[in-house]
Amino acid sequence: MNLEELWGLTLNEMEIQLSRASFATWLKQSRLVDRKDGTFFVALPNHFAKEWVENKYHKNILGAVRNFDSSAKKIEFVVRAEAAKAAPERITAEALEKFENRIDLSYQVDPQSNLNSRYTLDTFVVGPSNEMVYAAATAIVEEIGTKYNPFFVYGGVGLGKTHLIQAIGNAIRERHHGKLRPLYVSSERFTSDVVWALRNKRIEDIKKKYRNCDVLIVDDIQFIGGKEKTMEEFFHTFNALYENNKQIIISSDRPPQSLATLEDRLRSRFEGGLIADIGYPEYEMRLAIVRGKLQERRHELSDEIVDLIARRAKKNIRELEGIMNKIIFCEEMKKGPLDRAEVEDVINKSLKNFSQPVTDYQILKAVADFYSVNPEDLARRNRKKEVVEPRQVAMYLLRDILEMSYPYIGKKMGRDHTTAIHAIEKISQEINKNTSLTQKINLIKDLIYKA
């Protein structure tokens, strides 16, 4: 009897002994991979399954095998990942949510200031995409209310706005031992407070609450656009605080001039201070963020896996973190490290959940739209000056976002691969020196990812 037949019979036997769920969970993906001197080697897809089966079913399996091959003396369990990628499959949204809540529970929200202890300047990784907002943040902690007031930070989803502005509040609280009172509020919360106060004729309560702080931090201000009463109340709050040299910090998903439904008088208040943007993190920064979060979570991943995560999760830091959490969660379930294929599997599934994959057409279209040029001109052999930069940026993004090969990019753009290499290297170097180019690329990525 060959191994496969023998194992087939054994499994039939086990199927009778076990409940259907147990059998499906633990044994369906097992295989008999070898037999030597009376020792039979059974492969299971992961460490978790191995441990479980070893502890629970060792005797039954040995007994069943002996029915068909009396030379069997011993069963050894081994892990063969290719047996199946079972662990990632088993994560349900609910289980993952529980896991993530457990992480959240290890932090505290201070009831007076609404600040969450997880957001600190120490854990905020700094790189080219956010060094300006970081510098401003540290300056504000040193000179509250006078230097950069208001401080307006904007950027796409999941790029660190909330982290940064809460971290400023936490740093101030720490430094002044509670003598200065920061107050963090989302603009939705501010809105609902105003609505409540109007309905209950308690507008004085609102005034007291929001004018009694030393630092007012308002997150996602874009949501108050179009809400007349809320904007009005916010305008008065703003003025009252500002006149008293209290610090005001605001975040938004776009710059003040693009907040279409915001009153002009509010917009010009915002423009009176410092406006800075947070951009998309580049590879080194993503790498540093993964390492930092692993330390926070007290979990280890191999360099290879860390690199893989940082290379694949580019869209924003929230996505990066979500993927890491899933991998950590799977490893905890499995009680052992995932192999590369399993990690790839988790990443692919997560990216699918987060968004449709970006296509090369989307990239070219976004670049063309941004520069107001014809998309065909990007790939046409002409030397028009106005398409030189767009074309180079397009090649850079094809590489950065889609990791296309140089020859492929060259072909796509009607050039050879050396031209592609040259263009991509040029843009990569420029980005480190030229902030206006970095901003352009950020805006183009906004177009691509929000499409």
* Contact residues: ligand ADP, CB under 6 A: 123-125, 130, 155, 157-163, 289, 292, 317-318, 321
Radius of gyration of the chain (CA): 28
Shortest-Cβ-distance residue relative to ligand ADP: 160
Query: Which of Mg ion, ligand ADP, none lies near 417, with the C-beta cut-off 5 to 8 A by kind?
Result: none
Residue 168 or 289: the one with the smaller Cβ distance to ligand ADP is 289
Shortest Å distance, C-beta 160 to ligand ADP: 3
State the pairing for strand pair 215-219/39-44. Answer: unpaired
Nearest residue (CB) to Mg ion, 162 versus 392: 162
Going by C-beta distance under 8 Å and a sequence separation of 6 or more, which residues neighbour residue 30?
Answer: 7, 11, 42, 43, 44, 49, 53, 83
Residue 166 engages Mg ion in binding (rule: CB under 5 A):
no
Count of residues that interact with Mg ion, criterion CB under 5 A: 2
- From Mg ion, ligand ADP, none, interface partner of 255 (C-beta below 5 to 8 A by class): none
| Residue of 338, 327, 384, 394 lying closest to 364 (CA atoms) | 394
- Rank residues 149 and 166 by Cβ distance to ligand ADP and give the closer one: 166
What is the CA angle 150-239-121, rounded to 5? 30
Record the tokens describing residue 251, joined without a space: 């975040």
Q: In the complex, what is the shortest distance from the CB of residue 27 to ligand ADP, in angstroms, rounded to a whole number?
A: 39
Kindly state the smallest distance separating residue 404's Cβ from Mg ion, in Å: 32
- Establish if 162 lies at the interface with Mg ion (CB under 5 A): yes
Residue type, 300: E
Select the binding partner of residue 145 from ligand ADP, Mg ion, none (C-beta < 5 to 8 A, by kind).
Answer: none
Least distance from C-beta 149 to ligand ADP, angstroms?
A: 21
Q: Which residue is nearest to Mg ion (CB)?
A: 162
Q: Does the protein bind Mg ion through residue 116 (CB under 5 A)?
A: no
Percentages helix, strand, coil for the chain (3-state, rounded to 5) are 60, 10, 30
Pairing of strands 31-36, 39-44: antiparallel
Q: Is the CB of 161 or the CB of 391 nearer to Mg ion?
A: 161
Return the structure tokens found at 101: 């809540």
Buried/exposed 153-166: b ≥16 CB within 10 Å, e otherwise: bbbbebbbbbbbbb
Nearest residue (CB) to Mg ion, 161 versus 315: 161
Residue ranges that bind Mg ion, judged by CB under 5 A: 161-162
